[in-house]
Structure 1
């Protein structure tokens, strides 16, 4: 579950629940042999201590795959009638050229035309840092602080024979940069580059799927170990510290969002302080990153005995999640996935429409926790094989509780394939 947009693992930092912040709570550094449990004991809970590193089996994306991505983008440029694309700092830049660049008010990025190597645009004082990272192509063009980066981009395109035509702008580029480019090159027609960027990123390679599998396995193992260590009376910060320990043991960076009781009826929870109470619904949600690829899993459970109503709602959400997975087949439409789950929930008495299932069924996931495409409403976006997205139906009863189950899945001709097994019950969420 995540908010609208494509930010990676930062969607609830305002709640103060980042696993990376556990040390600030005085509860021990993640992964440290001296890390303490929330009660102040001198050792980790056994379930967390039993976890081990996961990155040894994770294979980073190879250079040949980056080259294939660039070649596919160039093919899509031609198919979409674009002459070039400009990609600024961010995930898409990392996706195409493995360049980690902090986004700021200083324009930096890559120009990619229909043929030839990418051209890197950067402030002059950053040239040496760019040279440390550039592996695909070698042309770096720079601008001084008293010069216009937009004039440089326009001049570079003219040097490549693109004085007129169509320039794609990566969708996350700040408006002032796109506006500056447009004013510096008024003869160019600026359009969204999403058909090119999403056209590449939305369909995953086997190497990407393998990294997503490891990330999802790590999150499920983390949640399982934390669940085994939970006790009534623990606060959100206590759970945060346990998650930090668990991810630290595995050697990955992750986050958690936890909500309890009536606050689980708010899909993104509440800023109100909460404690785990026996017999009350608890939701854990979020994920971790493995070599830049992100997981996103939600588990809903009760410590102790769940009410019959809680069990019934959980069962309906289970069936909705299965229906969505079965609808996620190549040749269908993204809207079909949402519709399949929403029908199960409405037929179970929690409809119509968005009355109790208040959000879309799912979002694409990969390097960003939210990326193309979205399983929502009447979307006619075709489902292609090897798209990856979340399958996360929910029922939220205001003032009482909510239930959400989330697995990420890969689309296939036979339907979706979950990365992780479905939660079997609200009292035994890991079987």
Structure 2
């Protein structure tokens, strides 16, 4: 189910394609009709390397080690991010069960609708499951769960504890739970245990995605004009991403609507002196960026500048606080203290959300920088660093950059925004 943020971003991009017919696509727009800053963009594809089959195979082996430690016999995946993470298979969801089951020992197997078998195996053969991947196919009138039982028996698992990945639909989990001698438990310790800590390749892809998005934002910002609608500006952001070689987008909120953290569907127009908050990103070989910038078209008021400085300091304190071994919640507490001590409190009154979320192949994934989460940070974890100050009826300011935990602390993939009037630095 899409989030409110992704729905608004997609809606803005769709509307922008209608409201900006002359610049709706990078590949069919005459060069002379593009804004100069966007015309100057070129693809940023050099050095981008996809995740290999061997890397996915190593992920499966790590999952098996975690399964053995957790006394889980088999991991059940359906279409979604974790299936892609381990197998490379990209599969949508429907009422028909297609599942990959990874046993702690023995070969993984697929259960698939018979009419989808060729398409499923085409994808499976390209990944770590390989050309010898075992498939159990069911016709439309047959029970797919009996094939799960068959696959388990064939691997000596007539009695099995199945770890169910958290996005498995209830109907599928419920079907598996009715099998005799089967116990279902959460598979999150396995999937999160593998996905939470990123390796150097994953971090490189996310760093690149952040750099693509900040470049797209800067080009769109340089092209912003008085009287432009939010959808028109969102269209420029999407266009800039395409010029750089990727699909990307951002929600755009103006003035008082920036005080709603995920914005409003109300049509908005950018005017001189308006606060503009943009929030979005792109994917590079399956790995995401998630960046917010807040700026003013023209001159900011002193009040806007004062709030920006508090926000900027809170984001920096979160960065300086984060380090391996520290509880996740401590990063949120450090940033929140800056904002509350500056008079924007208590608690969630003005800073109304957590300071950050884990990131990887999903824009939001484990773990979360939030009060009550005592999980220790580890080198290789990647988060958003995004405190916010939202003053209802006036404006909101959020700065968001993506942050990786390093062996000695933390670093941002992109530089902090220096000011409301020059969000990408002097000369940007």
Q: Report the TM-score range of the alignment, normalised by the length of the smaller protein.
A: over 0.9
Q: Give the CA deviation at 1:14.
A: 4.3
Q: Which has the higher contact order (CA 8 A, sep 6+)?
A: 1
Q: Can you give the 5+ residue segments of structure 1 that lack an aligned partner in the other structure?
A: 37-41
Give the TM-score normalised by the residue count of structure 2. 0.94
CA contact (8 A) 2:382 2:403 kept: yes
Q: Is the 8 A contact 2:23 2:33 kept in 1?
A: no
Q: So what's the TM-score if we normalise by structure 1?
A: 0.94
CA contact (8 A) 1:317 1:345 kept: yes
| CA distance in 2 between partners of 1:411 and 1:107 (Å) | 38
Q: Distance in 2 between matches of 1:259 and 1:52?
A: 27
CA contact (8 A) 2:403 2:412 kept: yes
1:235 corresponds in structure 2 to: 229
CA shift in 2, pair 1:10/1:269, >3 Å: closer
In 2: Cα distance, 1:95 partner to 1:287 partner: 20
Contact persistence 1:73–1:200 (CA under 8 A): yes
Alignment of 1:93-172 (within 5 A): 93-134=83-124, 135-137=127-129, 138-172=133-167
Residues of 2 paired with 1:249 and 1:77: CA distance? Answer: 43
Is residue 41–residue 244 contact of structure 2 (8 Å, CA) maintained in 1? yes
Structure-to-structure mapping, 1:176-325, within 5 angstroms? 176-183=171-178, 185-325=179-319
Kindly report the root-mean-square deviation, in angstroms, between the aligned alpha carbons of the 2 structures: 1.6
Q: 1:261 to 1:250 in 2, by over 3 A?
A: same
Q: What displacement does 1:165 show? A: 3.4
Is the 2:4–2:262 Cα contact (8 Å) retained in structure 1?
A: no
Mapping 1:51-130, distance limit 5 Å: 51-130=41-120
Rounded Cα–Cα distance in structure 1 between residues aligned with 2:299 and 2:78: 51
Contact preservation (8 Å) 1:279, 1:303:
yes
Q: Could you tell me how far 1:371 is from its partner in structure 2? A: 0.7
For structure 2, the 5+ residue unaligned runs are: none
CA distance in 2, matches of 1:120, 1:304: 58
Paired residues of 2:12 and 2:231 also in contact (CA < 8 A): no
Moved over 3 A (4+): 9-12, 14-25
